[in-house]
Amino acid sequence: MNATQEFALLANATSLPWADVPEFSAAELVPATADKLARGGRLCAWFGVPADPVRRDSAAGIRLVAIVAFDTDNTLAAARSTPVTGSYPALTALQPQAHLFEREVWEQHGLTPVGHPWLKPVRRMAGNAPAMGEFFRVNGREVHEVAVGPVHAGVIEPGHFRFQCAGEEVLHLEIALGYQHRGAEHAIQGGPHRASMAQMETVAGDTTIAHATAYASVLEALAGTEPPLRAQWLRAIALELERLANHSGDLGALANDVAFLPTASACGKIRGDFLNLTALLCGSRFGRRLVRPGGCGYDLEAARIEQLRQRLGPALAELENAALWLWDAASVRARFENTGTVTTRQAADIGLVGPAARACGLVRDVRYDHPAGWHRFAQSPIAVWPGGDVLARARVRWLECQRSGQFLQEQLANPPEGEIRAPVTAAAPETLAVALVEGWRGEVCHVALTDAGGRFWRYKIVDPSFHNWTGMTLALRGMAISDFPLCNKSFNLSYCGFDL
Amino acid sequence: MFETLRQSLKTGIVTTAYPQAPAEISAHARGRPEIDWTRWHDARAASTACPTGAIAFADEAGVRTATLDLGKCIFCGLCADTDRAIRMTNHCELAARSAAELRTTGRYRLGDDGTHHRLLAGPTAFRDDAASLETLGRQLQSRAQAAFGRSLHIRAVDAGSCNGCEVEIHALNSPVYDLERFGIHFVASPRHADLLLVTGPVTRNMELALRNTYDATPEPRLVVAVGACGCSGGIFGRNYATCGAVDAVIPVDVYLPGCPPNPWALLQGILLAIGRRNGDQQPAQSR
C-alpha cells in the first residue's frame, strides 16, 4: 500500500489470483488510476466489490476495482482498494470517462464519490420511474424542454430523452435509462447457475456472440481451460457474421432516416441474409447456443462451410451495391455530413469505444489491440474514419463490413481441424478474470471475481453502450432537434445492454 | 440515380408468398422440441438441463406429472442433447390464444428408481376449462375479424426485452415479409393503434409505462405477448427488477412463443390475433 506501487498487468481473457491484485487506499487508487488514464490508459471497468463475500452487503465496506486497458501496449492493468465505507474522492473529477461508473457504484453500493459533478442514479431513478427524476435544466425565456419516451415512435427499446432547446437548437440532451433493467448482474451472483449462459446470451440480444464469448472466456480463464482452436475459429466467424448483420441493418436504418429508400429496403433484406447465415451455423438467427463454456455447441462440416461461402458472396455483393447507392446520393451526403459531430478530443475524454470511437479517428479495436482466441492468429486492419459525424460513423460501418467479409472469406477457406469443445474444470477460487470482446458496437467487457468456493462473488458486465451513450448526448449539442433520430441511429446503442 | 433504379428493377420481387405458401424455414433452424411421450422414461435429466423450466415435473403419490411449456421454451435444444425421447423440430409457428394452450402434460406411473414408465394420461394440451376457452377464442376471432379484418394498426412496445424480438419485428417491415401487404401498419402512438405487440419480461421500470400505453390504446384493442419473455417471463423470469410475463401487467389475447420468434412466427401470431389465420400448426417446409 504505497503510492509508487504498480497495477498488476494481465492479458485479455486471462485470470489473476485476487491476492495478487495490488491494494491501494481509495485516496491513492483514485489518483493512481487517473494517472494511468492520463498516460494512454482507457477505463474498461470501475466497480465495487462487497468486502464480505458471504453477506454481499456494504456493512464490511466496499472495495473499488479498476480495470484499465493500455491499447498500444496490448495489456490490461488491474488494481483494487481497501474496503471503503461512506465516501471516497471522485475519479470523475480527474477523468470524465469515469462518470457513469461512479454513478453506478453509488447506486449499487451507496458509496459517494465526493466531487462528482452530476451524481444521480443510473438505472433505478425515482423508484421505478426514471423519467420522473431530476434533470439538468437550462433557464431562459426562450428555452423550452422536450421530453421523449420511454415509449418511442418506432420499434425500439425504451429510454427517456430530455432536451433543452432554444427554438430548433438543442443546447443540452440528458438521457435517463434503466427501463430495461432485468437484474442481469444480480442474477449471476453466486453462479454460474443453470440459466446463466442463456442470460449472458441475452444481455443484449443483438450482441449474443460477443457477450456469450466474453462470458465463456471468463469461465475458461478461471478454470485454466483453452478451448480447441476450431471452436475459437467458429466463434470468430460468428462474431463477424453478427457484425455484418447489424452493420448492414444500421446502414439501412440510416438511409431510412434520410428518406433514401433504395438502400433502406435492400439492407432490410441483406440483414436477414446475414442472420440466416448465422442460423446456418447453429440453428438460431442470433447465434444462440453456438458459444458454450469450453468451446462451441455446433461444428460446421465441410458441406456447410461450402454453403456458407456460396451464400456469403452474393450477400456481400448486394451490400456493396446498397452502400454505393448511399455514398453516390448527394441528398444523403448533405444530411450525413457535419451532423452530430463528436471531436476526437471529446471521444478520448469520455472513453468512446467501437465504431463510434473509430469514426472520431481513435484507433482502438479489441480484436487488434487485445487479441484473444482466434484473433491471436488472424486480424483485420482497424477501420478508422476521421470526422466524428454521421457520415464518419456510416463510413466506418461500411469499411468494417468490407473487412469482415474479407476475413470470413479467408477464414472459411482455411478451417483448422480438431475438436470443438473441451471440458471446463471448476473455477479457481478467489480469482479475478477479465475478458474483452470487440462486439459490433464496440468493447464488451466481462469481469468475474470468485469466492473461496469458486462461485461468482462479483460479476461485472460493461456493454459498449455504457461508454457510448454520453457520446450521443455530445453529438446532439448545437444540432437541430429534428436530427435526433438520425444521430441516434448513427450510434445505434443498446438500452438493455446498458440497463443490464 | 438511374443506376440505382436499374438495379432495383433488376432485383425484382423478394417478398415471400406466406401465408399462401408455407413458411420457408431452414431445416437447420431450431423450433419447438417434440417429446415422444410414450417412449419417455425419465423427465429428470431434461428438466435439469432446461434453463427456463419449460420442461418440469411434479411427483405425487406414485404419479409423475410432466409438462412441456412452449411459452417458457427458448428453443436451446439442451433437453434434446440429454434425452433421446426429445428431438428438436423446426416448427416455429406456435402462437396460441391462451398460455394454457402452450402447455402439454403427460401423467405417468412413477417407478421406484425415479424413472417413469407407463403413460397414464395424455399427452394432451393442458386446458383448465377447454370448452369455455374455445368459446372465448371464437368470440375473440369474430370480434377481431369484424373490427380489424381489413386493416390493422400495431404499436410495438418493448417492455424489457433483449432487443432480439425487436430485430425480428423490424424484419416484418423489410421487403421480404412486407407486413403492409396485409393492410397492417406500425404506428407511432398507442392512440392510433388497434393492437399492442408487447415484448418482455415486463421490467418494474416499464410497468407504469406499459399500463399507460395500454390505457391510451382505444377499444377495441388486442394485445399480443411476444417471445418466451413476454409469454412467461422467460430467461430472467420474475425477480426484484421484473414483473415477469406481460399478462402479469395487462390482459393478453395472443401468446407468441419463441426466443426470439422469427418473422414467420410473428406473421402467424399477428394474423391469428385478427382472425385471418387459425392456430393450427402447419408443418414448415424445409429448404
Q: What is the DSSP letter of A179?
A: T
Best of B47, B158, B166, B262 to disrupt the A interface (most A CBs within 10 Å) is: B158
Best of A155, A203, A211 to disrupt the B interface (most B CBs within 10 Å) is: A155
Give CA–CA dist A95/A450, Å, rounded.
Answer: 29
Amino acid at A486: L
How many CA atoms, within 13 angstroms, populate the side-chain half-sphere of residue A160?
A: 23
User: Is residue B7 within 8 angstroms of chain A, CB to CB?
Assistant: yes
How many CA atoms, within 13 angstroms, populate the side-chain half-sphere of residue B39?
A: 8
Residue B117 pLDDT greater than 90, yes or no: no
* B233 in Cβ contact with B244 (< 8 Å): yes
Best of A160, A180, A200, A242 to disrupt the B interface (most B CBs within 10 Å) is: A180
User: Is residue B160 within 8 angstroms of chain A, CB to CB?
Assistant: yes
Q: What does the DSSP assignment read for A385-430? A: -TT-SHHHHHHHHHHHHHHHHHHHHHHHHSPPPS-SB----PPPSS
Which CA distances in Å does A42 have to A24, A66, A70, A348?
19, 10, 6, 9
Give start-end residues of each CATH 3.30.70.3270 domain in chain B: 25-125
A187-461, which class in CATH? Answer: mainly alpha
* A245 in Cβ contact with A271 (< 8 Å): yes
Which CA distances in Å does A374 have to A295, A421, B283?
12, 15, 39
Interior angle at CA A398, CA A392 and CA A403, nearest 5 = 125
Using CA coordinates, name the residue in chain B closest to A184. Answer: B236
| Contact: B205, A494; criterion CB under 8 Å | no
Q: Which cell numbers in the block locate residue A434?
A: 477479465
Residue B280 pLDDT greater than 90, yes or no: no
The predicted complex's ipTM stands at 0.91
Contacts of B280 (CB under 8 A, 6+ apart): none
| Contact: A181, B240; criterion CB under 8 Å | no
Contacts of A432 (CB under 8 A, 6+ apart): A15, A16, A17, A18, A21, A65, A78, A447, A448, A449
Q: SS3 of A45, please?
A: strand
B164: nearest CB among A202, A249, A328: A202
What integer pLDDT is reported at residue B146 of this predicted model?
A: 66
Q: Could you identify the residue written with the cell 382472425?
A: B275
Q: What is the mean pLDDT of residues B169-187?
A: 89
Using CA coordinates, name the residue in chain A closest to B16. Answer: A269
Best of A108, A132, A151 to disrupt the B interface (most B CBs within 10 Å) is: A151
Nearest to A122 by CA among A146, A97, A145, A105: A105
| Contact: B162, A204; criterion CB under 8 Å | yes
What integer pLDDT is reported at residue B27 of this predicted model?
A: 80
| Contact: B162, A124; criterion CB under 8 Å | no
Which CA distances in Å does A58 have to A54, A86, A190, A473, B196?
11, 9, 17, 33, 42
| Beta bridge partner(s), residue A169 | A166, A480
Taking the CA of residue B198 and the nearest CA in chain A, the distance in Å comes to 11
Helices (H), A258-301: 261-282
Q: Which residues of chain A make contact with B235, given a CB cutoff of 8 A?
A: 195, 198-199, 202
A181: nearest CB among B76, B235, B241: B241
Nearest to A490 by CA among A340, A358, A350: A340
User: Is residue B201 within 8 angstroms of chain A, CB to CB?
Assistant: yes
CATH architecture of A8-114: 2-Layer Sandwich (3.30)
- Could you tell me the sign of the dihedral formed by the alpha carbons of A434, A439, A443, A446, in that order? negative
| B25-125 CATH fold | Alpha-Beta Plaits (3.30.70)
Which CA distances in Å does A416 have to A232, A233, A377, B50?
10, 7, 11, 32
Using CA coordinates, name the residue in chain B closest to A125. Answer: B205
Give CA–CA dist A439/A243, Å, rounded.
Answer: 7
Among 3.30.420.40, 3.20.20.70, 3.40.50.12280, 3.40.50.300, what is the CATH number of B132-279?
3.40.50.12280
Which B-chain residues 62-91 have CB contacts (< 8 A) with chain A?
Answer: 74-78, 88
For the beta carbon of residue B182, count every other beta carbon within 10 angstroms: 17
Q: Could you identify the residue written with the cell 415479409?
A: B177
Using CA coordinates, name the residue in chain A closest to B206. Answer: A179
Which A-chain residues 125-144 have CB contacts (< 8 A) with chain B?
Answer: 128-130
What integer pLDDT is reported at residue B129 of this predicted model?
A: 42
CA B117, distance to chain mean position in Å, is 31
Contacts of A293 (CB under 8 A, 6+ apart): A192, A197, A215, A216, A219, A220, A424
Q: For helices A229-257 and A208-223, what crossing angle results, to 10°?
A: 150
What integer pLDDT is reported at residue A444 of this predicted model?
A: 96
Q: What is the DSSP letter of B96?
A: B
Q: Could you identify the residue written with the cell 452530476?
A: A118
Which CA distances in Å does B154 have to A148, A156, B157, B193, B252?
20, 14, 9, 5, 15
More confident residue, A32 or B132: A32
| Contact: A129, B74; criterion CB under 8 Å | no
Give CA–CA dist A129/A497, Å, rounded.
Answer: 19
User: Which pLDDT tens digits describe chain A residue by residue (500 residues)?
Assistant: 444 579 999 999 999 999 999 999 999 999 999 999 999 999 999 999 998 877 777 778 899 999 999 999 999 999 999 999 999 999 999 999 999 999 999 999 999 999 999 998 898 877 778 888 889 999 999 899 999 989 888 888 999 999 999 999 999 999 999 999 999 999 999 989 999 999 999 999 999 999 999 999 999 999 999 999 999 999 999 999 999 999 999 999 999 999 999 999 999 999 999 999 999 999 999 999 999 999 999 999 999 999 999 999 999 999 999 999 999 999 999 999 999 999 999 999 999 999 999 999 999 999 999 999 999 999 889 999 999 999 999 999 999 999 999 999 999 999 999 999 999 999 999 999 999 999 999 999 999 999 999 999 999 999 999 999 999 999 999 999 999 999 999 999 999 999 99
Q: What is the DSSP letter of A99?
A: H
Q: Which residues of chain A make contact with B88, given a CB cutoff of 8 A?
A: 283
Band of residue B141 on the pLDDT scale cut at 50, 70, 90: low
Q: Which residues of chain A make contact with B52, given a CB cutoff of 8 A?
A: 195, 198
User: Is residue B29 within 8 angstroms of chain A, CB to CB?
Assistant: yes
Q: Which residues of chain A make contact with B49, given a CB cutoff of 8 A?
A: 194
Which CA distances in Å does B240 have to A46, A128, B64?
24, 11, 32
Q: What does the DSSP assignment read for B25-50? A: E-TT----EEE-GGG---SHHHHHH-
H-helix or E-strand containing B185? strand B184-186
Q: Which cell numbers in the block locate residue B214?
A: 395500454
* Long-range own/partner contacts, residues A278-282 (CB < 8 A, 24 or more apart): A278/A209, A278/A238, A278/A241, A278/A242, A278/A245, A279/B26, A279/B28, A279/B29, A280/A304, A280/A307, A280/A308, A280/A311, A280/B26, A280/B28, A281/A234, A281/A237, A281/A238, A281/A241, A281/A308, A282/A238
Contacts of A2 (CB under 8 A, 6+ apart): A28
Burial call A70-102: b when 16+ CB within 10 Å, e when fewer: bbeeebbbbbbbbbbeeebbbbbbbbbbbbbbb
| Contact: A151, B157; criterion CB under 8 Å | yes
Contacts of A452 (CB under 8 A, 6+ apart): A53, A429, A430
H-helix or E-strand containing A113? strand A112-114
Band of residue B147 on the pLDDT scale cut at 50, 70, 90: low
| Contact: B163, A496; criterion CB under 8 Å | yes
Taking the CA of residue A30 and the nearest CA in chain B, the distance in Å comes to 31
Which B-chain residues 207-266 have CB contacts (< 8 A) with chain A?
Answer: 207-209, 213, 235-236, 239-242, 259-260, 262-263
Q: Which residues of chain B make contact with A158, given a CB cutoff of 8 A?
A: 158-159, 206, 209
Taking the CA of residue B81 and the nearest CA in chain A, the distance in Å comes to 10
What integer pLDDT is reported at residue A81 of this predicted model?
A: 95
Using CA coordinates, name the residue in chain B closest to A124. Answer: B205
Q: Which cell numbers in the block locate residue B81?
A: 442433447
Q: Which cell numbers in the block locate residue A26?
A: 481509495
A269: nearest CB among B14, B48, B52: B14
Q: How many CB pairs under 8 A join A and B?
A: 171
Q: Which residues of chain A make contact with B28, given a CB cutoff of 8 A?
A: 279-280, 283
Q: What is the DSSP letter of A258?
A: T
Residue B287 pLDDT greater than 60, yes or no: no
Delimit the domains of chain A by residue range. Answer: 8-114, 130-176, 187-461
- Could you tell me the sign of the dihedral formed by the alpha carbons of B216, B219, B224, B225, in that order? positive
Best of B10, B72, B162, B224 to disrupt the A interface (most A CBs within 10 Å) is: B162
Helix, strand, coil percentages for chain A (3-state, nearest 5): 45, 20, 35
Work out whether strand A87-89 and strand A112-114 pair parallel, antiparallel, or are unpaired: parallel
Residue B166 pLDDT greater than 60, yes or no: yes
Nearest to B198 by CA among B149, B151, B237, B247: B247
Which A-chain residues 289-328 have CB contacts (< 8 A) with chain B?
Answer: 289, 321, 325, 328
Which CA distances in Å does B54 have to A333, A427, B75, B78, B276?
50, 28, 10, 11, 29
Taking the CA of residue A186 and the nearest CA in chain B, the distance in Å comes to 9
| Beta bridge partner(s), residue B65 | B58, B107
Residue B41 pLDDT greater than 90, yes or no: no
Q: Which residues of chain A make contact with B170, given a CB cutoff of 8 A?
A: 155, 249, 268
Contacts of A324 (CB under 8 A, 6+ apart): none
Using CA coordinates, name the residue in chain A closest to B24. Answer: A276
pTM of the model: 0.93
A496: nearest CB among B49, B74, B162: B162
Helices (H), B65-197: 78-82, 130-148, 164-171
User: Is residue A183 within 8 angstroms of chain B, CB to CB?
Assistant: yes
Give start-end residues of each CATH 3.40.50.12280 domain in chain B: 132-279
Q: Could you identify the residue written with the cell 458471504?
A: A54
